[in-house]
């Protein structure tokens, strides 16, 4: 008697449906976007394909959050009290479910329908049709926290689609404008501190703050990398562009601290505190006067006005360390029973662990860059 092998039923997708899933994988950072070069129109969208796509999006979003720090035990604030747990522990993670809107499906389905036709285009000026295509991929719409993470993954992966510069920039700007998560990682551009703060506040509510807790390590590394790159490029590239990038990074950091402080969630300031520590140990290494001198001799600096503008832009970034210490002094006044006592305990612990013993160096660098003596 021979045994009969039993196999689970497999979902069978058409070639076009498989290509649509390839585009989705590329948007999620799991493949290349230039693999599919023929537009994929799916109408109607079959239920099993829609379910497969939704699972891929949800799985990638959860993986991003867990691997980004959700797995690690640390001090967290829950109900105003300090607890030590992992974000995904039952008690600490209760009530958090990434929510999605139709925006995520639109990005996938319209991405499959529009982006393949734009792959590899060499034109420098986007046509009106291309601009319409980009807007169809990311139309004006409301979004939720799950969409925000998906949009961030997509804006990180756009390079694999080999879009022309105008299409790439247009699509990235639309993704970033609808995702505060993407905005945290992407260049701040010309956005004001107030505009950035208003966007980041959306990540401080009880239903969304888990995302910040999960991505704090990624954020700190991204911001540190940006500062390190700018420091390394001080002898290359246009001076005006470097000044704007330093200033934009400073606005981003101040806006983030504004948002978490206004929301009474300074426990979420850990990425900024980590950056402040990294600036002193891994970016601006050496005596403060040497840092100032090196910046003053940067490529393109030919006048005192240019030097002062560059130093002020860099100082806007290094000043974040001073601000962290100022906030520490303020929060140290919180006493047991005060409204922000639990928050203060987490924040004070973070500052002391990450910046302990560095206050003199932080303030010395700030004074040197601002030209203050003493």
In angstroms, the CA 20 to CA 281 distance is 46
pTM for this one?
0.91
Q: What are phi and psi of 75, to 5 degrees?
A: -70, 130
Give yes or no: residues 255 and 226 share one domain: yes
Given a contact cutoff of 8 angstroms between Cβ atoms, the answer to whether 208 and 149 are in contact is no
In a domain, 167, yes or no: yes
For residue 101, what are its two tokens?
């809107």
Give yes or no: residues 124 and 244 share one domain: no
In angstroms, the CA 281 to CA 246 distance is 18
Give yes or no: residues 68 and 215 share one domain: no
* Among 285, 296, 268, 133, CA closest to 202: 268
**What is the residue whose two structure tokens read 């699509």?**
171
In a domain, 106, yes or no: yes
Given a contact cutoff of 8 angstroms between Cβ atoms, the answer to whether 274 and 354 are in contact is yes
Give yes or no: residues 284 and 351 share one domain: yes
Q: What is the pLDDT along the chain (374 residues), one digit of tens a residue?
A: 344 445 444 567 899 999 999 999 999 999 999 999 999 998 889 999 999 999 999 999 999 998 888 888 888 888 888 888 888 777 777 767 899 999 999 999 999 999 999 998 766 555 767 788 899 999 999 999 999 999 999 999 999 999 999 999 999 999 999 999 999 999 877 899 999 999 999 999 988 999 999 999 999 999 999 999 999 999 998 999 999 999 999 999 999 999 999 999 999 999 999 999 999 999 998 899 999 999 999 999 999 999 999 999 999 999 999 999 999 999 999 999 999 999 999 999 999 999 999 999 999 999 999 876 54
Q: What pLDDT does residue 207 have?
A: 85
Q: Which residues face 85 on adjacent strands?
A: 74
User: Quick one: angle between helices 304-331 and 239-262, nearest 10?
Assistant: 20
In a domain, 187, yes or no: no
Give yes or no: residues 134 and 220 share one domain: no
Give yes or no: residues 84 and 40 share one domain: yes
Q: What pLDDT does residue 95 have?
A: 67
Domain that holds residue 336: 193-370
For residue 234, what are its two tokens?
């001080």
Q: Which residues face 75 on adjacent strands?
A: 84
Q: What pLDDT does residue 298 have?
A: 94
Split into its structural domains, the chain has a count of: 2
Q: What pLDDT does residue 372 have?
A: 62
Cα separations in angstroms, 215 against 69, 111, 203, 208, 366: 6, 26, 12, 12, 28
Give yes or no: residues 261 and 139 share one domain: no
In a domain, 7, yes or no: no
How much is the CA Rg of the chain, to the nearest whole Å? 23
What residues have CB less than 8 Å from 157, skipping those under 6 apart?
26, 27, 28, 29, 33
Give yes or no: residues 170 and 284 share one domain: no
Q: What pLDDT does residue 3 have?
A: 47
Final residue belonging to a domain, choices 127, 148, 181: 181
Cα separations in angstroms, 142 against 102, 105, 145, 153, 196: 9, 13, 11, 18, 18
Give yes or no: residues 149 and 202 share one domain: no
Give yes or no: residues 140 and 233 share one domain: no
Give yes or no: residues 173 and 201 share one domain: no
**Alpha-carbon torsion (36, 39, 45, 50), positive or negative:** positive
For residue 13, what are its two tokens?
């997708």
Half-sphere exposure of 170 (CA within 13 A, CB side): 23
In a domain, 10, yes or no: no
Give yes or no: residues 106 and 253 share one domain: no
For residue 225, what are its two tokens?
């990398």
């Amino acid at each position: 008697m021979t045994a009969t092998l039993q196999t689970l039923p497999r979902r069978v997708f058409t070639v076009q449906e498989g290509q649509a899933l390839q585009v989705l994988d590329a948007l999620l950072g799991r493949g290349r976007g230039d693999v599919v070069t023929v537009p994929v129109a799916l109408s109607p969208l079959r239920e099993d394909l829609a379910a497969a796509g939704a699972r891929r999006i949800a799985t990638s979003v959860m993986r991003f959050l867990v691997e980004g720090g959700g797995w690690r035990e640390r001090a967290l604030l829950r109900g105003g009290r300090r607890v030590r747990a992992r974000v995904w522990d039952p008690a600490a993670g209760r009530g958090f479910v990434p929510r999605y809107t139709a925006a995520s499906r639109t990005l996938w389905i319209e991405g499959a329908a529009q982006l393949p036709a734009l792959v590899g285009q060499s034109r420098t000026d986007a046509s009106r049709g291309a601009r319409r295509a980009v807007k169809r991929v990311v139309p004006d719409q409301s979004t939720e926290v799950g969409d925000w993470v998906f949009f961030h993954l997509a804006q990180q992966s756009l390079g694999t689609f080999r879009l022309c510069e105008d299409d790439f920039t247009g699509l990235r700007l639309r993704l970033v404008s609808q995702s505060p998560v993407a905005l945290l990682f992407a260049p701040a551009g010309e956005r004001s501190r107030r505009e950035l703060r208003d966007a980041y506040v959306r990540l401080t509510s009880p239903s969304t703050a888990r995302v910040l807790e999960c991505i704090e390590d990624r954020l700190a590394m991204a911001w540190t990398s940006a500062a390190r790159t700018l420091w390394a490029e001080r002898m290359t590239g246009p001076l005006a562009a470097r000044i704007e990038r330093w200033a934009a990074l400073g606005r981003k950091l101040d806006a983030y601290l504004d948002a978490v402080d206004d929301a009474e969630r300074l426990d979420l300031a850990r990425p900024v505190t980590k950056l402040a520590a990294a600036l002193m140990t891994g970016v601006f290494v050496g005596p403060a006067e040497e840092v100032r001198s090196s910046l003053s001799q940067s490529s393109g600096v030919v006048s005192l006005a240019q030097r002062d503008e560059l130093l002020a832009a860099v100082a806007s970034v290094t000043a974040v360390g001073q601000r962290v210490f100022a906030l520490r002094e303020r929060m140290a006044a919180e006493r047991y029973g005060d409204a922000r006592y639990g928050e203060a305990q987490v924040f004070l612990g973070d500052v002391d662990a990450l910046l302990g013993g560095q206050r003199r160096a932080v303030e010395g660098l700030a004074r040197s860059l601002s030209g203050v003596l003493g």
